[in-house]
Amino acid sequence: MSGNNWDDLRYLLAVARHGSLSAAARMLGVNHSTVLRRVTALEEALGVRLFDKLPGGYVLTAAGDEMQRVAARMEEEIVTANRLLSGRDMRIGGTLRVTTVDLLAVHYLPPHVAAFRARHPELRIDLTIAEASLSLTRREADVAIRLTNRPPENLIGRTLSGLAFAVYGARSYLEGRGGGRDPAGHDLAGHDCAGHDWADHDWVGLDETFDHTSMARWLQRSVPAERIGHRVNSVVAVMEAVRAGTGLGLLPCGFVDRQPEFRRLGPPVEEVGSAIWLLTHEDLRHMARVRAFLDHMAAAFARDRDLLEGRGGG
């Protein structure tokens, strides 16, 4: 049956997962009418209605739910086959898809990616910034560089380094606040942050999307809520707000200690920090371009480990 092939089933899966034709079209890189036409053709070929169009979006019928399960199994088999074949590709060319968080993408990876491409000019690096992990199992990415203390169990990789955080303020802000002294007039630099009353300072904090993190928990314990006058949902945004003089903030030592406009107000906060993991799927670990990138990045992070773990300045 001409409509009942994998290409048509991709459209069924996209609409089922996203709940609308427009969202499915964006994911597939086609227009709205193409999705509608392909789904309608599949329904006609099968002789059943696959979706009910409700006010809240497209919902699978009983027949559609059965077909969705069949299509999902087919997708898994195709993705697995592609992974296994890609894992045998020994060329250092083509495209390598890397996913990471904005902090690493903006403040660490660019020179290392540039050096890697200089060695392998036939290889294209597609870098996606995503706080949530893209699926390496479904080949949404080949390599992930993540800040986590609990990497996914279905991936393999290595810990590259720790990432320490400490309290920082812009020198311009601190000069207007006694040069970085606590309310009693003591110099904050070089002392344990836990011993200071931070209520005398303005702060840049993190919004509720970070409530599960050790950074947010430390701020809740250490800083009165009314002193947090600016909240953001990105560590990069905290860095830039602190740089602008908005207030103090918890920042990653490895990306701030060498920037003269910042001043560290104490050693790394012990209960705040993360490991940096380099991850891939087991089926891809022997692919030449993946292997080369893993080795290159592991060496880069190893050289910078003291800095990243807060021993490089301050």
What confidence score (pLDDT) does residue 194 get?
46
Domains, the chain, ordered by start: 6-87 (1.10.10.10), 94-159+275-303 (3.40.190.10), 163-273 (3.40.190.10)
Q: pLDDT tens, 258-309?
A: 899 999 999 999 888 889 999 988 778 778 888 899 999 999 999 999 999 9
| The pLDDT of residue 252 is above 60 | yes
Above pLDDT 90, what percent of the chain? 39
Beta bridge partners, 95, equal 124
Residue 110 has pLDDT above 90, yes or no: yes
Give the separation between CA 72 and CA 75, rounded to whole angstroms: 5
**More confident: 48 or 137:** 48
152 pLDDT exceeds 60?
Answer: yes
Beta bridge partners of 231: 205
Residue 179: band (very low, low, confident or very high) from pLDDT cuts 50, 70, 90: low
> What are the tens digits of pLDDT across the range 183-240?
444 455 433 444 467 888 999 999 998 888 889 999 999 999 999 999 999 999 999 9
